[in-house]
Structure 1
Amino acid sequence: MLIGHIKEIVRHPVKSFRGESIEKTKIMDYGLYGDRSHTYVDDTKKGDFLTISQFQEMVRYQARFVGEESMDKYPKVEVITPEGKVFDWVDEALIEELENKSKRKIPTRNYTPSHVPIGPIAVEHVLLATDASLDKLEELWGQGRVDARRFRPNVIISLKEKKPFIEEEWIGRRIKIGSDVEMEFVGHCERCMIITVNPDSAERDASLHKTVIRENNNNFGVYASVIKTGDIHVNDEIHLLD
């Protein structure tokens, strides 16, 4: 059954930095090619990853791959600072800036195109959200536009039938994207303080999170496990399988 198409694909080459909207990519066993494949480590947390939860201004730094996707190694990772400066993600000047702002040492860690463990990504492979759910949440919140970047989805689905939160009814079922890729919806995405952080200003406002807690049991978006790998593109059809 046709349920919609891909409206947007978002990849985060560096964990907790702003992602990049892309037209096409590969779905690997671990999720989107290169998603959360490069990380900064919080030296104060015994080797855990540095995230927006500890350093809110991470949302204002954008990471992007520069070059063609390769299975041998990732393309170069560039970071654009809030002031518009461009650095390699391991440039000493960038590291020094981040360490001074976050007030901690941040060693780097990265993975290979064939292997990104679940830890850096999340609790599952791919996070999906729908346009209808975003629109409904905006209505429920009542304080302006809901920026999808707060929720850090990998795929935003434009639904054929605009039924908010219908994706939660599909948990346990499989979808096919394009001609090759198959995924299974496996669970809700339970939300934390990260959605309170404005992606442009890094300022916090708890009201959106309170709305998600009150109106949808603190869930927004659904996780999916990869069943069959392949290529995906913006506008690919998405079918719910029997």
Structure 2
Amino acid sequence: MGTVAALYRYPVKSTLGESLLSATVTHAGLTGDRSFAVMDDTGAIGSVKHPRKWGELLRCRSRLTDGGEVRVELPDGVNLPAGDPDLDARLSKLLGRQVFVSDSAPPDSTLERAVPKYAGGVPDVVRATASVDGTGEAITVGKVAAGTFFDFGRVHLVTTSSLAGLRARWPDSDFDPRRFRPNLVVDTGDGHGFVEDTWVNCRVRVGEALFRVVVPTPRCVVPTLGHDELRADPGIMRAIAREHRVPVFDLGRLACLGVYLDVLEPGTVRVGDPTTRQDASRSGDRRATVTRQNARIRRCRLTARRPSD
């Protein structure tokens, strides 16, 4: 199927993350991934899916040190540990309101998402619930997965084939994988198609870890924003919406790129590791897949979760 071309982790939700040569994968995802988030006094979790409110977070970078400490580098180069009151003060100044870095999501916390105008950017049933907030942006409000800062998927994978296909069709846009904030980038060779669509409901071995591919990843506004040296590119999501709208649970046909993974067996994943598809025909696997998907469908109906940022 391919090999691991890149690994990424984002210790503080919605900040720039770090490129890794190897990562430990647990049932909760990559160790340290989205272990912290910025929050404000209203209970909103900082997400650049609402860029007018939280877009400055993409000018910050987080990393997990060898000693297990999460640190945040601010746009001016100041580097502080999560939990430092000075970091909270500086982030509050950057965002223009009182915020703080947290390692736990309260049960009543919310996550806001801007509603894109193009078809397939949000389920129709969710679009109907949108309201305009104080920033003038039409948004929807949902929740994160219980006890985490993940919107939905714990591990996110994109393939070079999907990116190459989009690049060939839309050469004026920049389909750098970093825009899509994946954990795993898999080099699938010279193909130009959405090969990962064929992996859904299959088991995939990546290095030592075993995953089940759950569902294509619906995309939001985030890939269009500037990431580090990557410029803002509003054409990216319109291109994906035209090229790849696929069914996601019972939410309709959504603009998707990449897939979400469940972790079946923890282990270490390294750049260069092979990615192989394995037989998932056992009845227990099928029953487990159906159970998990039905649970996700129920949650999606209530909260319309979008991909992890």
Q: What range is the shorter-chain TM-score in?
A: 0.7 to 0.9
SS at match of 1:16: coil
Bigger drift between 180-189 and 200-209 goes to 200-209
Q: How does 1:92-103 map to 2 (within 5 A)?
A: 92-103=85-96
Note if contact 2:65-2:71 (Cα within 8 Å) is conserved in structure 1.
yes
Deviations 1:177-236 (A, max 9, x none): 22x311011001111111111102697542111111111111011001011111111111
CA pair 151-196 structure 1, distance change in 2 beyond 3 A:
same
CA distance in 1, matches of 2:61, 2:238: 27
Relative to total residues, which structure has the larger strand share, 1 or 2?
1
Instruction: Return the TM-score normalized by structure 1.
Output: 0.86
Tell me what 1:198 maps to.
226
CA pair 201-25 structure 1, distance change in 2 beyond 3 A:
closer
How many residues align? The count is 227
Tell me what 1:235 maps to.
272
CA pair 110-202 structure 1, distance change in 2 beyond 3 A:
farther
Deviations 1:33-69 (A, max 9, x none): 111001111323xx2311112311211211111114x
> Within the alignment, does 1:187 sit opposite 2:185 as a pair?
no
Tell me what 2:45 maps to.
49
Unaligned runs of 5+ in 1: 69-74
Unaligned runs of 5+ in 2: 105-144, 246-254, 280-309
Note if contact 1:126-1:223 (Cα within 8 Å) is conserved in structure 2.
yes
Tell me what 1:72 maps to.
none
Q: How does 1:3-22 map to 2 (within 5 A)?
A: 3-22=1-20
Q: How does 1:46-195 map to 2 (within 5 A)?
A: 47-52=43-48, 53=50, 54-68=53-67, 75-110=68-103, 119-160=148-189, 162-178=191-207, 180-195=208-223
SS at match of 1:48: coil
SS at match of 2:163: helix
Considering only CA atoms, is the larger Rg found in Structure 1 or Structure 2?
2
CA distance in 1, matches of 2:76, 2:166: 31
Bigger drift between 217-226 and 128-137 goes to 128-137
Note if contact 1:187-1:222 (Cα within 8 Å) is conserved in structure 2.
yes
Tell me what 2:37 maps to.
39
CA distance in 2, matches of 1:117, 1:235: 33
Structure 1 counterpart of 2:238, from 206, 210, 219: 210
Instruction: Return the TM-score normalized by structure 2.
Output: 0.68
Letter in 2 for 1:124: G
CA pair 119-50 structure 1, distance change in 2 beyond 3 A:
same
Percent of aligned pairs sharing the same letter: 29
RMSD of equivalent CA atoms:
2.0
Letter in 2 for 1:200: D
CA pair 149-117 structure 1, distance change in 2 beyond 3 A:
farther
CA pair 166-202 structure 1, distance change in 2 beyond 3 A:
closer
Letter in 1 for 2:24: K
CA pair 163-240 structure 1, distance change in 2 beyond 3 A:
farther
SS at match of 2:174: coil
